[in-house]
């Protein structure tokens, strides 16, 4: 298939109305998969990503800059230099992408280049002004800035190679830039045509390493009892407590991801690699979507397991919408999101879209609602994401007292559990999802997060087992990858 824009004259015309001109080559995807493309592009690259949804999948490697948040500041790494700043991650991303804009009337996939990153839970210290445990070497968040992205359109069975040429506002003498963009597309095509090389793992161990945690069962039960008393006193409606489980793994992180996507497919799946750290897992719901000035939040509270056929799914959905406890919890979460949306929305623009609709997902039926609004003056898509960060679904309601209880009782940092993964393009459009089921690998050390929701009716003696159950599939994915089942 042909390249768009096909000629330098067409490229120059687009440069008159935008500072980022996309070169796009679309080919048939019938012999390509997102996983294979990721393996080919990411080989030997320290930073890369894969994001999968039912409609689109996106792949990128070799960013032109990396913004890493740590200890209240940021480090910005480029190919030729590294700089530090005392600003926060989202402010640094704004500065890096300020003034970047696609040309008018150019149709592109939902993501075509820009910032890909994650916010760890610990970003609450500067987004919500809530203290967290002492900083360590783990990132508070990272944003990788990509000018080259692969976009798989699953409905059309096409693969678009997109190279965003940043012109910095220049409107002439761009021949070298156009040629460099063409060369980059040719480089990616060569990689796609190469053989797939599986990532290297260590020889499998005789038996899996034992998971360890500093949040012992006795400590967890005691914390759960104290939190329950806080709910009975009316200080908080509910709180999610999490424990971090760790062990050595012989498997490559991407092999674990492949095992997870097979064992527990989800509407959104992500894999992000930055240096020695890989963050991957599933996002059961969207945190925020922004297109232009329009924003939308999805609330997904209340669920039932999928049945084995359509009839069982229908019965599960009927039971879900009739459950008073699920309806009450969903209503409180929805009210919270409406309030948070108002902090970034234009006055009078906040509306409820879908209301408590059962949504069939790969492994569950989830009760969902949507909140829609327009961004207010002086607000952007990163503000929209920050307004609802972290998700009350994995912290509690009300959020601030729940966060204080989490900080008081959880003995280790949450890192990336309950954080979010986000994609912000050159024109400011954004998609973000909650990292609800997440695995973190640093070197060969794997961290898995188990959690339990605590309310006034909670039974602390049962919560240890309930918490462990939330991590069962994640542990199974590690075990399967170590056996060579990625």
Q: Is residue 455 classed exposed, middle or buried when 0-12, 13-18 and 19+ CB atoms within 10 A define those classes?
A: middle
Query: Would residue 50 count as lying in a domain?
Result: yes
Instruction: Give 197's pLDDT tier (boundaries 50, 70, 90).
Output: confident
Q: Is residue 375 part of a domain?
A: no
The pLDDT score that the predictor gives to residue 285 is 58
Lowest mean pLDDT among 110-114, 440-444, 457-461: 457-461
Mean pLDDT on 415-432: 92
Q: What percent of the chain has pLDDT above 70?
A: 96
> In 30-103, which ranges are E strands?
47-52, 56-61, 65-70, 73-78, 82-85
Would you state the pLDDT for residue 140? 83
Range of the domain at 30: 3-193
Q: What is the structure's pLDDT at 203?
A: 80
84 to each of 61, 81, 93, how far by Cα in Å? 23, 10, 13
Q: Is residue 146 part of a domain?
A: yes
- Residue 16 Cα distances to 147, 170, 178, angstroms: 19, 8, 14
Rank 16-25, 101-110, 198-207, 276-285 by mean pLDDT and report only the highest. 16-25
Please say if the pLDDT value at position 135 is more than 70.
no
DSSP for 7-31, written as a single string: SHHHHHHHTTS-SEEEEEEEEE-TT
Q: Give domain status of residue 148, yes or no.
A: yes
Within a domain: 49: yes
Residues contacting residue 304 through CB under 8 Å, at least 6 positions apart? 316, 317, 319, 320, 364, 365
Convert the pLDDT of each residue in 351-406 to its tens digit: 999 899 998 876 678 889 999 999 999 999 999 999 989 988 889 988 999 999 99
Share of the chain above pLDDT 90, in %: 66
Q: Residue 429 in contact with residue 422, Cβ under 8 Å?
A: no
Q: Of the spans 87-96, 132-141, 166-175, 178-187, which averages the highest pLDDT?
A: 178-187
Q: What is the mean predicted confidence (pLDDT) over 137-157?
A: 91
Residue 151 banded pLDDT, cuts 50, 70, 90 = very high
Report, as an integer, the average pLDDT of 299-309: 84
| CATH code assigned at 30 | 3.60.120.10
Which residue stretches of 57-167 are H helix?
89-97, 124-127
Q: What is the pTM of this model?
A: 0.92
For 57-75, the pLDDT digits (tens) are: 999 999 999 999 987 789 9
Q: What is the overall mean pLDDT for the chain?
A: 91
The 8 Å CB, 24+ separation contacts for 35-40 are 35/258, 36/196, 37/150, 37/152, 37/159, 37/192, 38/254, 38/271, 39/196, 39/197, 39/198, 39/199, 39/254, 40/191, 40/192, 40/194, 40/196, 40/197
For residue 281, tell me if it sits in a domain: no
Supply the pLDDT for residue 202.
Answer: 81
* 114 inside domain: yes
Q: Quick one: average pLDDT of 246-258?
A: 95
Tally of structural domains, the chain: 1
The pLDDT, as a whole number, for residue 3 is: 86
In a domain, 117, yes or no: yes
């Amino acid at each position: 298939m042909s390249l768009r824009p096909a000629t330098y004259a067409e490229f120059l015309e687009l440069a008159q109305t935008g500072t980022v001109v996309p070169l796009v080559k679309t080919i048939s995807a019938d012999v390509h998969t997102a996983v294979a493309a990721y393996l080919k592009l990411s080989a030997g690259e320290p930073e890369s990503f894969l994001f999968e949804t039912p409609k689109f999948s996106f792949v990128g490697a070799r960013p032109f800059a990396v913004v890493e948040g740590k200890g209240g500041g940021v480090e910005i790494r480029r190919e030729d230099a590294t700089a530090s700043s005392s600003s926060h991650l989202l402010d640094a991303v704004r500065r890096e992408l300020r003034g970047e804009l696609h040309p008018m009337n150019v149709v592109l996939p939902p993501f075509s280049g820009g910032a890909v990153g994650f916010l760890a839970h610990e970003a609450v210290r500067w987004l919500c002004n809530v203290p967290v445990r002492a900083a360590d070497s783990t990132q508070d968040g990272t944003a990788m800035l990509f000018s080259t992205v692969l976009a798989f359109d699953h409905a059309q069975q096409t693969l678009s190679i997109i190279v965003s040429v940043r012109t910095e506002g220049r409107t002439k003498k761009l021949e070298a830039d156009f040629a460099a963009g063409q060369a980059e597309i040719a480089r990616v095509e060569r990689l796609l045509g190469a053989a797939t090389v599986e990532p290297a793992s260590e020889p499998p161990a005789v038996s899996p390493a034992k998971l360890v945690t500093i949040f012992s069962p006795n400590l967890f039960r005691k914390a759960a009892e104290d939190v329950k008393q806080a709910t009975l006193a009316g200080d908080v409606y509910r709180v999610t407590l999490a424990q971090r489980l760790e062990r050595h793994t012989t498997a490559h992180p991407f092999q674990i991801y492949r095992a997870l996507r097979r064992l527990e497919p989800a509407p959104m799946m992500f894999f992000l690699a930055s240096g020695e750290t890989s963050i991957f897992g599933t996002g059961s719901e969207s945190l925020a979507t922004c297109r232009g000035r329009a924003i939308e939040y999805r609330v997904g509270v209340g669920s039932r397991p999928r049945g084995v056929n359509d009839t069982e799914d229908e019965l599960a959905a009927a039971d879900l919408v009739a459950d008073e406890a699920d309806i009450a919890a969903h209503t409180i979460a929805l009210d919270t999101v409406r309030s948070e949306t108002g902090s970034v929305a234009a006055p009078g623009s906040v509306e409820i879209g879908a209301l408590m609709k059962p949504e069939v997902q790969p492994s569950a039926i989830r009760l969902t609602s949507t909140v829609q609004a327009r961004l207010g003056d002086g607000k952007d898509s990163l503000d929209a994401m920050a307004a609802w960060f972290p998700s009350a679904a994995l912290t509690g309601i009300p959020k601030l007292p729940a966060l204080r209880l989490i900080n008081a009782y959880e003995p280790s940092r949450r890192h990336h559990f309950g954080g979010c993964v986000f994609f912000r393009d050159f024109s400011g459009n954004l998609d973000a999802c909650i990292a609800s089921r997440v695995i973190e690998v640093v070197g060969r050390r794997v961290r898995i997060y188990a959690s339990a929701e605590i309310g006034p009716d909670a039974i602390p003696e049962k919560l240890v087992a309930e918490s462990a159950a939330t991590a069962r599939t994640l542990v199974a994915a590690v075990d399967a990858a170590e056996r060579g089942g990625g």
